[in-house]
Structure 1
Amino acid sequence: MTATSSPTDRYVAATLRSLPERQRQDIEAELRALIADAIDDRREAGADADSAEREVLTGLGAPARLAASYSDRSLYLIGPEFYLDYLRVLKLLLSTLVPLWFVFFALVTFTDGSPAEVAFGGALYSAFETAVTIAFFTTLVFAIIERVSAVRTKRKATWDPSSLPEVRKKTGYFTELIGGVIFLAVIVIALVLAQTLGAVEGADGTKVGPVSSGLWESGVFYIALLFGIASISFHVLAYYTGWSTANAIANAVLVVLFAAPAIWLAASGRLLSEEYFSAVGWPGGENVIAVVVIVVVTLLTGGDAVDGFVRASKKRRTR
């Protein structure tokens, strides 16, 4: 026969189950002492042993919640400190990007020969998918921010009026960040329109756009878009956690991973379609545009990388 475990044993085991191994021994000793003292107090007040134990364990609450308090782990996805910022960002992104995508999708579908009702229905469904995607990734970014230890420590510090931040101007960093999101969306839409609606008939009778067809069909465009989304997500994270040297280095690495392939593709002639520029009456135009692409990518990405180090330097000087 085996002895049955007591309610206290089961409660302690359930609490320790979700805690790191290195913490269990100390927390078990502390928790058992706490429960034993509370039971003794109730028994001295006249309660029997079983009732006293039950009351104490009930008062401690669910083991998972108690374990979370020991490990300082959040039991919510986005807490009250960031919830209003989360709503503000989410509303702004949904109110700008989703309508832009709806109009773009409907226009492309209708121009491609689909009936108006089909174009509208497809655009509506695509806009819904876009909204869900935006909501998911925005929530993910803020959930990560919620769990960054540096931010949580800063939020839990004793509040003092001297810690109030300077009033941000409407033209401040956050507005620039949202402007970057809209700029990315406009660039993506313009590129897709140029490659689809702006396509012309090539020498073999097929439609060709300004971007090399092999490159377009290879999925490189989607990888570049993913880098853009990742960069914006990183800047949102840095906006709330504060720029540091580590953040600036990580941002610079992300910039290089995007800029180096883009510049190489443009410089090697693999980015643009020579056939397209010949068809529109501008032979050699792909070389001119390639130079423009190299200059723009270099300036934008280089400026972004330098800006990260500048912000990190300013933060160090204000400490």
Structure 2
Amino acid sequence: MELIERYIYAVTRRLPQSQREDVEKELRGLIADMLDERMGEGEVSDSHIEDVLLELGDPRQLARQYGGKNKYIIGPVLFDPYISVLKITLISIVIAMSVVFGIKVAIDPIHIIDHFVSFIVSIIMVIPQGVGWITLVFGSVEYFGGINEQKFNVQKTWKLADLPALPDTKRQIKRTEPIASIVFLVLLAFIFTSQYFGIFVFKNGEFSTVIPFLNKETIITSLPAIIFILGLAVLKEALKLVYERWTKKLVLYTILINAVSLAVVIIMMTMSSFWNPNFMLELSQVHEISIGSGAYKTIETIWNISTRWIVIMLIIGLVWDMISGVIKIRKVA
């Protein structure tokens, strides 16, 4: 009976989520009828099941018959994860930009019309870019990642041994994990590129300025690297949604992506110019703290420790993401 379950899984996994339940019921009925025709009142054996499944043929071809389409940029295997990532990313972009808009209005309510116009223009410019990048990522996975089975595998003679194993619940990846990570990454992108990532300074109850944590010039010059790293991170989380469980291939992808990200993060964040070199000077001037005083040295120590630990925690997070996948694979191997 496991062969039947694997066959049904091999067909339905290639269909949109909305079709899977109906197709699964239809396939179960069809297989049961075919077995009844062969056996009548006799007992069903493994050889009879194998004959019926071989008669039904390649699950890929059967899935295409149910799907009704053979040409696509993003096929049915990836379509649901693609839509999920697209929705999550776009919602996160709107939320992040709304937060920035709210901050601008709170700081400078007089020019609320200008802020609103800027908000609308930014939405119009950023959302198509988000759609384009997500589509490019999934289209690349479809074309180069072996997912497009029509291109790579149709000519291959199908055998029962080609049926995929049923999903192992111990390796399952909760959808909430990659979804939460994508939301965090989008918000992180806006934080890094926002002029409001720093300490807000108010004088006489009114907003005065922001002392940035990061060096603006370095962020501008490093923007391609930042986008590259965040793009890789989103790709990694998208692959988790695609595979839905930890596999050796997914662990390998995670290790490669995290290794590249780790190298770039270490290079960027250990640069002396990454953090605002004038942070302590600006802070001391605003709060009238004498350079070299006890208060100044205490704040400077906190600043140095904080920036160091941010780098350490990022490194630990990337390394742990690699290790956790390997552990889950070994536990059920």
Partner of 1:231: 232
User: What is the Cα-based RMSD across aligned positions, in Å?
Assistant: 3.8
Task: Please tell me whether residue 301 in structure 1 is matched to residue 308 in structure 2.
Answer: no
Amino acid in the other structure paired with 1:139: T
Q: Spell out, residue by residue over 1:194-237, the C-alpha distance to the aligned partner (whole angstroms, 9 max, x if none).
A: 45782579xxxx9561335xx21341563564244223233135
Which letter maps to 1:94?
A: L
Q: Which residue of 2 aligns with 1:99?
A: 95
Q: Which residue of 1 aligns with 2:268?
A: 261
For each residue in 1:276-309, what CA deviation from the matched residue of structure 2 results, as whole angstroms up to 9, or x when unmatched? 2212356242442231122132123223123224
Choose 176-185 or 221-230, whichever is displaced more.
221-230
CA drift at 1:139: 0.8
Q: Does 1:283 align with 2:296?
A: yes
Residues of 1 paired with 2:195 and 2:166: CA distance? 48
**Percent of aligned positions that are identical:** 18
Supply the distance in 1 between the matched residues of 2:180 and 2:148 (Cα, whole angstroms).
28
Matched, 1:209 2:211: yes
Q: Deviation at 1:126? A: 1.0
Matched, 1:83 2:79: yes
Cα 1:264/1:165, change in 2 over 3 Å: same
Counterpart position of 1:274: 280
Question: Which one scores higher on RCO, CA 8 angstroms, separation ≥ 6?
Answer: 2
Per-residue deviation, residues 156-211 of structure 1 (Å, max 9, x unmatched): 77675842453887xx454222222332344455563645782579xxxx956133
1:36-55 matches, within 5 Å, as: none
Contact 2:78/2:142 (<8 A) preserved? yes
Alpha carbons of 1:165 and 1:137: their partners in 2 closer, same or farther (altered >3 Å)?
A: farther
Relative to the length of structure 2, the TM-score reads 0.57
1:243 — aligned with what?
250
The verdict on how the C-alpha distance between 1:249 and 1:113 changes in structure 2, with shifts beyond 3 A counting, is same
Q: Which amino acid aligns with 1:294?
A: R
Hey, what does 1:111 align to over in structure 2? Answer: 107
Say whether the 8 Å CA contact 1:277–1:283 is kept in structure 2: no
Query: Hey, what does 1:120 align to over in structure 2?
Result: 116
- Larger mean Cα displacement after TM superposition, 230-239 or 154-163: 154-163
Partner of residue 28, structure 1: none
Question: Helix, strand or coil: the match of 1:94?
Answer: helix
Provide the aligned length of Structure 1 versus Structure 2.
237
Question: Residues 146 and 152 of structure 1 are in contact (CA less than 8 Å); yes or no, is this contact kept in structure 2?
Answer: yes
Q: Structure 2 unaligned runs (5+)?
A: 1-69, 244-248, 290-294
CA-CA distance at 1:138 after TM superposition: 1.0
TM superposition score normalised by structure 1: 0.59
Deviation of 1:142 after TM superposition, in Å, equals 0.8
Give the SS at the match of 2:185: helix
Stretches of structure 1 lacking an aligned partner (at least 5 in a row): 1-73
For 1:148, the equivalent position in structure 2 comes to 144
After TM superposition, give the deviation of residue 81 of structure 1 in Å: 1.6
| Alpha-carbon distance in structure 2 between the residues aligned to 1:161 and 1:260 | 41
Q: 1:116 to 1:207 in 2, by over 3 A?
A: closer
**Which structure would you say has the larger Rg?**
1
Alignment-derived partner of residue 133 in structure 2: 137
Equivalent in 155, 163, 168 of residue 166 of structure 2: 163
**Alignment partner of 1:265: what SS?**
coil
